[in-house]
């Protein structure tokens, strides 16, 4: 019962929100361009409950809440349809106008891209609301202590230095220092400091140690051996106006996107830490843990998961939205859709890649829970 309350319920709430928003993005553009929608499902498998709206769409919640889908009239899939003539013969002219495959290429692309776009929009709304009604931290970061023989000492960093940049990123908050250090994929970290009103650029090679995050999970952490505190001895949290809140919301989405792409790139370079990859079990664990820190922490996690879902779905892998968009790009270049057999071949490859990733992340999740050694 404790596991149900602590992990499963927060996980279902989180996943339901981000999946609903994603699928609603597809649904919105489908309805905008006159495509018939027969099903809007949160989850897979047996339907638990649902209802039909006035347009005949079945809205339902299914047994396995690990995703969702929007089913279009006359077609279960949204890839480039190469056998349109046979399909069109099944329907009269009125129904043909509701078919996804009869729509112009740009409309099909927007319908497919609508899911990821909705995920990014959700993150913007959450971040903007937090920044406007709760505030954003702008406390300058001052070095209060340096560990002897640490990377920081070897780099030339000194007590009372104010950190104003890391790896080309402007540091506007004390909270960003650890974030930029630990998300860096470079072997050497470039640090810009303000010392006696002069800017200095120094470099440090961080130590990688086994540590614990605030929830007690085992992680690999990069340390340079400094203790930081507020430069003015007090924290500065500022409530932002709508324009500034939007700016920092977009900035946060860009940071997550850039960090994710660098993280993926590090795997191809043989530098990535595969133990950091996780799947639904890890998300369930994290969602339960952040709920203990309150609604703001949970909402922030919803925003970050939403960004990740939107970004991953844009990867050019068949079965994902990005895979469909890749087919539309080929269609635009060639002036015709790819042959059905070619598309099916790509889909088999995409299925293999996604299943392999699912197995790998599940293995990591079970290790994280101590169920595997």
Residues belonging to the active site: 23
Rounded Cα distance between 218 and 220, Å, is: 7
CA distances from 152 to 161, 202, 222 (A): 11, 9, 12
Which segments within the chain are labelled E, that is strand?
A: 37-52, 58-72, 136-137, 141-146, 162-166, 169-170, 189-195, 198-204, 207-212, 218-223, 226-230, 237-238
Distance of CA 266 to the CA centre of its chain: 18
Q: Output DSSP code: residue 274.
A: G
Question: Token pair 């077609």 is at which residue?
Answer: 75
Rounded Cα distance between 341 and 339, Å, is: 5
CA distances from 11 to 165, 267, 301, 333, 358 (A): 36, 28, 11, 42, 18
- Pseudo-torsion of CA 172, 178, 182, 185, nearest 10°? 30
Asked if 239 contacts 135 with a C-beta cutoff of 8 angstroms, the reply is: yes
- Pseudo-torsion of CA 61, 65, 71, 75, nearest 10°? -140
Listed in sequence order, the DSSP H helices in the chain are 2-3, 9-32, 84-88, 93-96, 105-133, 151-155, 175-182, 242-268, 280-291, 295-313, 321-334, 340-368
Give residues with Cβ within 8 angstroms of 160, minimum separation 6.
Answer: 142, 143, 195
Query: Residue 89: what are its φ and ψ, rounded to 5°?
Result: -65, -20
- Residue 153 burial (CB count, 10 A): 16
Rounded Cα distance between 373 and 365, Å, is: 11
Rounded Cα distance between 47 and 49, Å, is: 6
Q: How many residues does the chain have?
A: 373
């Amino acid at each position: 019962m404790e596991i149900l309350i602590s992990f499963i319920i927060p996980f279902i709430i989180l996943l339901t929100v981000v999946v609903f928003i994603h699928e609603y993005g597809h649904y919105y553009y489908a309805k905008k361009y006159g495509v018939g929608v027969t099903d809007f499902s949160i989850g897979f498998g047996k339907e638990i409950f649902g209802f039909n709206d006035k347009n005949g769409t079945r809205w339902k919640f299914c047994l396995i809440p690990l995703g969702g889908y929007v089913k279009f009239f006359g077609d279960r899939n949204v890839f480039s349809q190469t056998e349109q003539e046979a399909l069109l013969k099944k329907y009269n002219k009125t129904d043909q106008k509701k078919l996804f495959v009869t729509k112009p290429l740009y409309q099909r692309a927007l319908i497919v891209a609508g899911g990821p776009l909705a995920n990014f929009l959700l993150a913007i709304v959450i971040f903007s609301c937090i920044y406007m009604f709760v505030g954003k931290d702008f406390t300058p970061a001052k070095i209060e202590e340096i560990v002897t023989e640490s990377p920081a000492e070897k780099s030339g960093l000194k007590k009372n230095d104010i950190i104003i940049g890391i790896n080309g990123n402007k540091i506007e908050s004390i909270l960003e220092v650890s974030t930029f250090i630990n998300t860096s994929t470079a072997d050497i970290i470039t640090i810009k400091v303000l010392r006696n009103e002069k800017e200095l650029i120094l470099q440090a090679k961080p130590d990688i140690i086994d540590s614990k995050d605030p929830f007690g999970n085992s992680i690999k952490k990069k340390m340079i051996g400094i203790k930081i505190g507020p430069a003015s001895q007090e924290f500065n949290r500022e409530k932002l106006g709508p324009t500034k809140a939007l700016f920092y919301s977009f900035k946060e989405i860009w940071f997550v996107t850039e960090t994710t792409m660098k993280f993926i790139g590090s795997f191809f370079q043989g530098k990535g830490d595969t133990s950091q990859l996780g799947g639904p079990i890890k998300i369930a664990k994290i969602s339960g843990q952040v709920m203990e820190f309150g609604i703001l922490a949970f909402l922030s996690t919803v925003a970050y998961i939403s960004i990740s879902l939107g970004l991953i779905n844009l990867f050019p892998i068949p079965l994902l939205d990005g895979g469909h968009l890749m087919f539309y790009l080929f269609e635009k270049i060639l002036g015709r859709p790819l042959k059905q057999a070619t598309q099916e071949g790509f889909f088999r490859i995409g299925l293999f890649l996604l299943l392999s990733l699912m197995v790998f992340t599940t293995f990591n999740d079970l290790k994280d829970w101590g169920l595997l050694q």
